[in-house]
Amino acid sequence: MSVNSLTLRRHGVALAAASLLVLLSAAPGFAQAAAAPAAPAQPAAQAPAAPAPPAVTFNEAAGALVIQIKGDRTADFEWALAKIKDALNKSENPVHKQQAAGLKAYKNPEALPQTAAILYVLMVTPSVPEADYSITTLSNIAYKSLTAEEQQEFHKRISGAFAGPIARWQLSLVSDFAK
């Protein structure tokens, strides 16, 4: 093996190790569990209470949740988003109304080549300090506003719709092109 190929091999190993270290250090707090968005199940009398999912808050003025939805379940997810929107806007809680004012949902119509999932981005701008933007919390707000029949429909539609973890992005403004 020549000295040049040995040097290239060492640099390649070092680059791979550095890349892995960056990925591992970014992993904590990067994604919500995909199972978390399920609507609340009917509690059994003897079942212990499940721990509350971690809150998803934004420390910056803006943020985003990147959500992967199975390609054949987009209509169900969009139906659930409409229920969440209605519940936030009709809520008596002023924090919920503030959250609704700053939430916008975007959809990438092109499926991901690896999984055929469709990406949705919930843009949060401005974010409400200390408000919980987890899909579980937003779904629970909607769920509580529904009739028993609608709750069953909500649970049916949202269960199993998620195709992967939910990424949370904290966004800080770098440049405002309008100013």
* Cα–Cα distance, 18 to 25 (Å, whole number): 11
Domain tally, the chain: 1
Exposed/middle/buried for residue 34 (C-beta within 10 Å: 0-12, 13-18, 19+): middle
Residue matched to tokens 């609608």: 150
Whether 45 maps to a domain, the answer reads no
Query: What is the Cβ-side half-sphere exposure of residue 140, based on CA atoms within 13 angstroms?
Result: 14
Whether residue 32 lies inside any domain: the answer is: no
Is 120 inside any structural domain?
A: yes
> Range of 75's domain?
56-170
The tens digit of pLDDT for each residue in 157-169 reads 999 999 999 999 9
Is residue 4 within 8 A of residue 124, CB to CB? The reply is no
pLDDT at 14: 35
pLDDT, tens only, 55-79: 899 989 999 999 999 999 999 999 9
Q: Is 10 exposed, middle or buried (0-12, 13-18, 19+ CB in 10 A)?
A: exposed
Taking residue 39's Cβ as centre, other Cβ atoms within 10 Å add up to 20
Give domain status of residue 111, yes or no: yes
Whether 125 maps to a domain, the answer reads yes
pTM over 0.85: no
